[in-house]
Amino acid sequence: MRVAALCDIHGNLPALEAVLADVEREGVDAIVCGGDLVGGPFSVEVFDRLLSLQDVRFVRGNADRLVMEGDGEHGVDWSAERRRLGEPRLATIASWPLTVELETEGLGRTLFCHAIPSADEPIFTRITPDKDVAELLGDVEAKLVVCGHTHVQFDRQLASGLRVVNAGSVGVPYEGRRGAFWAVLGPMVELRRTEYDVEAAAVSIREAAGPTGEQHSGWLLEPPDPDEATAYFESQRGA
């Protein structure tokens, strides 16, 4: 099958709608939502939109876990998020696994996770040494690992032969240019960027999300540089 990987949407509904239009044109067989659906202005709408689609699989990200737990950092009012989402949606989020494995056309066994297969927070980047990435990922029988979490796309092959792809972030990319970032798996790995009306999205996000909306809309209008984001994440590794 061919699969679209959509990670780190973070409640950005305008970005998701634009990506879903592209996904539809692409004619994939399934969507994997790679974690961190919530933690943003339109989490309820994003959740309901994705749950209304056929052939969507979910893995749980750290933000999805934090909203279940009802607290945490990242400048998000998690208790307000919990109230908006309500118990039935929270129960669904609680049921999401850390990994989903699918057989993708031309690429073989493909393991989807948010950060690493065994946990939703550890960080690695496109410049993390192979041996450190291999250690974090642990024993992987799949040929390809697809993750998100750090909001910077990459496609790399470890010395072991394992291919590791970061699909990037739909809702809060750190790519130094505007858009929504995602990936198509099968028969090739395609790192994709979808353009949408970021100016309009920034206005609606600022209005919807109060103080945190200011930060979120700022990230959209002036996207952080991927090299700077990568250097920052490297400095946080193991810290």
Under the rule (CB under 5 A), what is the footprint of Mn ion? 36, 61-62, 149
Beta-carbon contacts of 41 under 8 Å, excluding residues fewer than 6 positions away, are 11, 12, 13, 204, 205, 208, 209, 213, 216
* Shortest distance in whole angstroms from residue 172 CB to Mn ion: 10
Question: How far from chain centre, in Å, is Cα 143?
Answer: 20
Pairwise CA distance, residues 119 & 113, whole Å: 9
**101: which strand partners?**
111
- By beta-carbon proximity to Mn ion, the closer residue of 36 and 81 is 36
* Shortest distance in whole angstroms from residue 229 CB to Mn ion: 13
* Shortest distance in whole angstroms from residue 42 CB to Mn ion: 17
- By beta-carbon proximity to Mn ion, the closer residue of 2 and 216 is 216
* Shortest distance in whole angstroms from residue 114 CB to Mn ion: 6
Question: Is residue 106 helix, strand or coil?
Answer: coil
- By beta-carbon proximity to Mn ion, the closer residue of 122 and 203 is 122
- By beta-carbon proximity to Mn ion, the closer residue of 89 and 151 is 151
Token digits of residue 203: 């206005």
* Shortest distance in whole angstroms from residue 100 CB to Mn ion: 16
Which residue type occupies 35? G
Radius of gyration from C-alpha coordinates of the chain: 16
- By beta-carbon proximity to Mn ion, the closer residue of 107 and 170 is 170
Under a CB-based contact definition with an 8 Å cutoff, are residues 62 and 88 in contact?
Answer: no
